[in-house]
Amino acid sequence: MSYAKTLQQLLALSLLVFGLGACDLKDDLLPSSSDQRGAVTTGSTGNMPGQIAADFTIKDLNGNDFILSDHLTGGSNPADVVVLYFTMWCPICLSHSDHIYTNVMPQFLGRGTVVYGLVDYVSGSVSATYAAAQANGYVGSSYSILADVDQAVLNQFNGAMGITIVIDSDGTILMNEDYRTGDTLVQILDQQLP
């Protein structure tokens, strides 16, 4: 091995050790199972559980407006619960959305009305969202596929890949967290649906 190659490897190792030393690994390796977010004022508008979701309008696969308030009490198409899952169409997102589709949705058939929305915030247009949904087998599914072209809904909920938002019929946010196993979603739906 050449001197330059050895020196390069030592430098890379030194940078790695220095970089890891600057991180608080305790936070990354020992996550808390409790919600560490600050307290919210119940009934205020925001993106946290207990707050009211601000109304929004987003396009569906056909270019029609999906308006949150249409699916709340008093809206034109009210539901008991609105579930939004933020997807990038990556393998992790697809495993979560498939899990919702095959394991969660069937548990609640016939128990009230749930609107399940897949929010695509990366494709950049309705046509690109349509193509991604079609490539992944969701066109014609029970999901409302929503194109968050300007990422306004993503930003409204401080979302990211895999975030699941649950909103009740009055607009109160019941969940805003990573999907993980789906257990929290199932618990909330079980409590909310007749």
Structure tokens at 12: 């890379």
- Could you write out the three-class secondary structure of 6-23? HHHHHHHHHHHHHHHHHC
Above 70 in pLDDT, residue 7?
no
Residues 70, 14, single domain; the answer is no
Residues 18, 83, single domain; the answer is no
Whether the CA torsion 126, 128, 131, 133 is positive or negative: it is: negative
Nearest to 138 by CA among 181, 85, 71, 76: 85
Residues 18, 103, single domain; the answer is no
Residue 155 has φ and ψ, to the nearest 5°, of: -65, -40
Above 80 in pLDDT, residue 28?
no
Count up the domains in the chain and report the number: 2
Above 80 in pLDDT, residue 102?
yes
Question: What is the three-class DSSP state of 27?
Answer: helix
CATH number of the domain bearing residue 81: 3.40.30.10
What is the residue-averaged pLDDT of the chain?
Answer: 89
Note the pLDDT of residue 23. Answer: 53
Residues 6 or more apart in contact with residue 6 via CB below 8 angstroms: none
Q: What is the band of 32 on the pLDDT scale with cuts at 50, 70, 90?
A: low
| DSSP state, residue 172 | B
SS3 of the chain: helix, strand, coil, percent, to 5 = 35, 20, 40
Is residue 121 within 8 Å of residue 85, measured between CB atoms? no
Q: Domain span at residue 65?
A: 57-192
Residues 90, 164, single domain; the answer is yes
Note the pLDDT of residue 40. Answer: 80
